A and B are shown apart, each in its own frame.
Chain A
């Protein structure tokens, strides 16, 4: 079964400084990986997805992630944090149920705090 591990439960940055949210995955085959963002009292919104076309994936709002097979990592980065980036971020891997249908496996989340 596929799984993801988010290495930090909380990350604090100052506005204007870089953001790094770490994610490692475990997969027995070439995975599909996603990052989702959840703002307070909202649902999850897709930031970006990796589907083997390119190892560096660009997403919305200036975020990007790099797929590194040798390190089994899919870290999320942004060059300069904005106050509006404060939210919870989920690293997600696509897997299949025992009946062959797609399901998502979620990490436990990283809460990003941005201070002025």
Chain B
């Protein structure tokens, strides 16, 4: 029962460093999402993907890039980390476009940028 797995769970970076967050799902879901969670703001959508090889911008895409080379994986990249990107990042997946289908979440990656 793996569901959605995020790697790593914690990371500390220095300003200007780069890194990639990995999300893997084993439910054969088409849609995958990256969110960031900041205190008092709920979750905000960074990027999403509606299938292998496709990605699109969410509400807060600046400073992030994504790739979906395989259906089960969705990668989030920070090219040059900034302190404003200190946050908890969640990956989610869902079966498809039907609006009443819930999203399944990973346990999050806690990222600090110094």
Known A103-B48, A106-B43, A107-B42; judge A43-B100 contact (CB<8 A).
no
Q: Give Cα A36–Cα B104 distance, bound, in whole angstroms.
A: 10
The answer to whether B45 and A43 touch across the interface, beta carbons within 8 angstroms, is no
Question: Which of A43, A46, A97, A106 makes the CB contact (< 8 A) with B56?
Answer: A97
Q: Mark A26-57, 1 if CB is under 8 A from B, else 0.
A: 00000010101000011111100101000000
- Chain A's interface size range is 20 to 34
From residue B96, how far is it (CB to closest CB) to chain A in Å? 8
Closest residue of chain A to B105 (Cβ to Cβ) is A43
The answer to whether B97 and A90 touch across the interface, beta carbons within 8 angstroms, is no
Cβ of B74 under 8 Å from chain A? no
Known A99-B56, A101-B50; judge A108-B40 contact (CB<8 A).
yes
Supply 25 A–B pairs (Cβ within 8 Å), ascending by A: A32-B100, A36-B105, A42-B108, A43-B108, A44-B90, A44-B105, A45-B105, A51-B100, A90-B42, A90-B43, A97-B56, A97-B58, A101-B50, A101-B56, A101-B97, A102-B31, A102-B97, A102-B98, A103-B48, A104-B33, A104-B45, A106-B42, A106-B44, A108-B40, A109-B40
| Residues of B near any A CB (own CB < 8 A) | 4, 31, 33, 40-45, 48, 50, 56, 58, 90, 92, 94, 97-108
Question: With contacts A44-B92, A101-B97 known, what are 4 further pairs, Cβ within 8 A?
Answer: A43-B108, A49-B102, A97-B58, A103-B33
| Residues of A near any B CB (own CB < 8 A) | 9, 32, 34, 36, 41-46, 49, 51, 90, 94, 96-97, 99, 101-104, 106-109
Closest 5 CB pairs of A and B: A106-B42, A43-B105, A51-B100, A94-B99, A32-B100
